[in-house]
Structures are given as C-alpha cells and as structure tokens.
C-alpha cells in the first residue's frame, strides 16, 4: 500500500527530474524514488552525459513514466514543450557547470536545456561539481544570474569528492532536495497570496552639502531579493528602496534617498501591510544643518554637527496593528545572534535576521549572504553562505507560519 495522503506532500504534482552527466548522477536515483514516495508524478530526463553514469532503464523503473534522453522522439515530436507545459516544477540533480552555463546563456542543445527554456514552472537546480569548478567566477556568475531570474538553488555540501580530496561540491542530500522542491511548490501555490508585504532596501544618504553625503555600503541586493521572493509567493509587494535595481513584475517600487524620505514612505505604507520587512540600512545620524551649496575646500574643515534620525522600525512597532508581522535586520560585525536577540526584545519584533557584514562573502554588495534567523518564540535558525534569493526564501519560510497564526 502507498503512503497515506498526509505523508505525500507532493501528491498530484508533476515533477520533471533532470539528471546531468556527473558522478553524482547515481544519487539522483534516490531523489527520484523519494519524489515518487512523496506522491509526485516524476518524468525523468537524462542528458547524454548522464547515461554514461546511470542507465535510463533505472529511472524508467523508478519514475512515473519512461525516462527520456533525446529531443527527437517518434512518440512525441515536441517533448520539451510537452514536458515544460505539464510540469509543476523542474528539478535538476545533479546540475553540472555545463548545464548552469547553458541555461544561463539560453542555449538549448539537448532535451533538458530545451525543457528548461520551454517551461514556465519554477525551477530548482542542485549543483554538483569539483570545488575548483564550483568556485570558478564563471560558475558563480551563471548561478547568480539564474537566481536573479527566480531559479531556486540547493547549494552543494562539503565533504569527500570523486577525486579523493575534500571540499565543497557534493550534491545535496535527497531529503534536502525533496524538501526544497516541496518548499518551492508551496511558494508557487501562493503561500502569501492575498497578503500585503512592505519591504525596505538599500542604504540611505544623508546630505552634508549639495554634493556630499553620509552613507553606507548597502547595495539593496538583499532587500530586493526579499521583495522578489514575496511577489513570487503571491503577495502584493511595496518596496521602499534607495537602490536603483530592477524588481520583479508587479512590485510597487517607491524610490527614496534619505532616512526622512524612507520614514515618510514606510509610515504611509505600513498601516495596510500584513508583513513589514525592514532590510534597509538606515542611517542612525545625519548632519543637523546641511549646506545648500558645495562647501569649498578653501573655507577650511567644516564643523559637522550630527543629530539622530528616527528609528523607523521602532516607530512601526509602536503603531503596529493586531496580526501584523514585523521583521527586522541586524547588520553586525560581532556577536550577531546576541545582537539580533537584543533587537528582537527591544523593538517587540516577530523575527530578526542577523548577519555579520565583516564575514567573507556576506558583506555589503555581495551576491551571497549568511544569516541567523531569531524568532520571538525562541527559535534560532542558521542559514549558511548562499545566494541572497535563497536567504530571502528562508526568511519567508519563517514568516509564512507567522501570518497564518495572525489571520
């Protein structure tokens, strides 16, 4: 007998499982089995390289239909279109460096890449390769581009590799991959549908004179990733940002410059928001009397008198309405978890996302981040270094249950 519906989170879902030609292809056999056990209808697609490591007949036996390996199929003249349109999700495990490069460049030279370009379903890629390939700038750039397009990434693990050495590049475990597919499908189904989400992003600029300002190095990448993720989950999103960056279709963008501008925009929008995510790096201080003209060097060194800006998050918290979920960010250089907990208590928040901006790969303007999520219920979750869109997914995975508990 099959597992009961309660144990089949993917019941009724159609999954295209792409398998590339890497040594980790043998692990995709277990991924296929677990997807089927979770209730999914699995259509395996193997590249020519994959068949050098695993047999198509294995996936035909374990999947929900025969494995496909070619664009040219007498039974279906357009298999990539058929697969792409029918899929609820496409997952590629393992995803090789070649596949990531071809997908990022829009090259469709086999059935799998053609299916990836032909689908409008969410896509999950699970990279696996040797450490040097994983760390190569071309691979990182291709992956960052795919993430910006909304592709979900299950990062590789660290451990023993095929060459006998150790490093990062091992395919993520089957449980982790199936969990990621399940989470993506929850998002595609719209777990924030009907919710209004307000996100702030970027660093404010506080004028000293007509040309100079006090600012910080925040790029707005994490805030924009949060806004895009909320939109992908069905939310109506308002993004208050200082950054001149693209946003997902449907996101209402309000561009601001100073802390005062952001305060005005946030307080105007927060009353109607179900979720407020304050990811912006807002200046704590500003020049008290900025000059209307440029200060001339010949005039000597100016006396710069600073005054405090409004604590926008504290103001939002003080005026929050019942059921509203508030998320703060704590950019620190030490004792991140302790600082996040202190901020959570002081401002009566539901969740604080703490990160060490001095850590390699997790500082300002990077495409990756590593954070700790501290909840008001005492939970603490560490998200290791990964793409900022993946961090955004983790944040909203934590936020969604909060919205359900506060209808």
- 110 is written with which tokens? 């086999």
Instruction: Mark whether 15 and 143 lie in a shared domain.
Output: yes
User: Is residue 216 among the annotated active site residues?
Assistant: yes
Could you count the other beta carbons within 10 Å of the beta carbon of residue 361? 11
Sheet holding 351-356, edge to edge: 252-255, 236-241, 196-201, 275-278, 325-332, 351-356, 368-375, 380-387
**Residue 225's pLDDT is what?**
92
Looking at the structure, do residues 252 and 158 belong to the same domain, yes or no?
no
Same domain flag for 106 and 201: no
If one counts the domains in the chain, the total is 2
Q: Which domain holds residue 234?
A: 196-405
Q: Which pLDDT belongs to residue 1?
A: 38
Give the residue carrying structure tokens 């693209």.
246
Q: Domain check: are 222 and 180 in the same one?
A: no
Report d(CA 170, CA 161) in Å as an integer: 7
207 lies in the same domain as 293? yes
Residues 207 and 347 reside in one and the same domain: yes
Q: Contact at 8 Å (CB) between 287 and 206?
A: yes
Give the pTM: 0.59
Of 188, 219, 249, which residue is a domain's last?
Answer: 188
Whether residues 390 and 251 fall in one domain:
yes
Is the same domain home to 247 and 388? Answer: yes
Whichever domain contains 71, its CATH number is 3.40.50.1950
Question: Which of 188, 205, 233 is a domain's end point?
Answer: 188
The answer to whether the CB of 282 falls within 8 A of the CB of 259 is yes
Instruction: Please list the alpha-helical segments (H only) found in 106-157.
Output: 111-118, 131-134, 137-148
| Same domain for 249 and 162 | no
pLDDT at residue number 5 = 46
**207 in the same domain as 144:** no
Tokens of 24: 């980790």
Same domain, 235 and 354: yes
Domain membership flag for residue 2: no
In a domain, 3, yes or no: no
- pLDDT profile of the chain (407 residues), mean per 10: 59 95 95 96 97 96 96 86 94 97 96 96 92 92 86 84 81 90 74 91 94 91 92 88 83 93 95 95 93 89 92 96 95 91 96 92 86 95 91 94 78
Task: State the pLDDT at residue 4.
Answer: 42
Residue that finishes a domain, picked among 188, 223, 240: 188
Catalytic residue among 142, 216, 355, 369: 216
Which residue is listed with tokens 């600029």?
205
Q: CATH number, domain at 387?
A: 3.40.50.10300
């Amino acid at each position: 007998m099959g597992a009961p519906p309660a144990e089949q989170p993917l019941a009724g879902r159609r999954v295209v499982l792409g398998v590339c030609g890497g040594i980790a292809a043998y692990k995709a056999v277990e991924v296929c089995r677990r997807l089927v056990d979770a209730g999914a209808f699995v259509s395996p697609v193997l590249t020519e390289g994959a068949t050098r490591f695993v047999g198509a007949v294995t996936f035909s036996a374990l999947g929900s239909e025969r494995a496909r390996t070619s664009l040219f199929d007498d039974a279906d003249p357009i298999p990539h279109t058929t697969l792409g349109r029918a899929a609820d999700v496409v997952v590629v495990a393992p995803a090789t460096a070649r596949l990531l490069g071809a997908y990022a460049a829009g090259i469709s030279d086999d059935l799998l890449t053609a299916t990836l370009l032909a689908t409008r379903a969410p896509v999950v890629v699970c990279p696996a390769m040797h450490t040097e390939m994983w760390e190569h700038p071309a691979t990182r750039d291709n992956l960052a581009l795919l993430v910006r397009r909304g592709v979900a990434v299950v990062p590789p693990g660290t451990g023993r590799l095929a060459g006998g050495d150790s490093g990062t590049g091992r395919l993520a475990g089957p449980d982790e991959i199936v969990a990621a597919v399940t989470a993506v499908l929850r998002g595609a189904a719209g777990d924030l549908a009907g919710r209004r989400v307000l996100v702030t992003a970027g660093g404010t600029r506080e004028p000293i004179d007509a040309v100079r300002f006090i600012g910080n190095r925040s790029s707005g990448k994490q805030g924009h990733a949060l806004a895009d993720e909320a939109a992908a989950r069905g939310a109506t999103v308002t993004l208050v940002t200082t950054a001149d960056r693209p946003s997902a279709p449907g996101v209402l963008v309000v561009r601001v410059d100073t802390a005062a501008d952001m305060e005005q925009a946030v307080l105007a929008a927060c009353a109607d928001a179900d979720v407020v995510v304050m990811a912006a790096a807002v200046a704590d201080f500003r020049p008290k009397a900025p000059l209307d003209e440029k200060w001339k060097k010949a005039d000597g060194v100016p006396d710069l008198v600073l005054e405090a800006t409004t604590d926008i998050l504290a103001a939002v918290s003080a005026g929050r309405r019942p059921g509203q979920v508030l998320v703060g960010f704590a950019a620190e250089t030490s004792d991140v978890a302790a600082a996040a907990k202190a901020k959570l208590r002081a401002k009566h928040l539901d969740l604080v996302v703490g990160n060490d901006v001095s850590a390699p790969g997790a500082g300002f303007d990077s495409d990756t981040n590593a954070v700790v999520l501290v909840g008001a219920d005492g939970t603490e979750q560490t998200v290791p270094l990964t793409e900022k869109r993946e961090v955004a997914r983790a944040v909203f995975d934590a936020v969604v249950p909060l919205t359900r508990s506060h209808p």
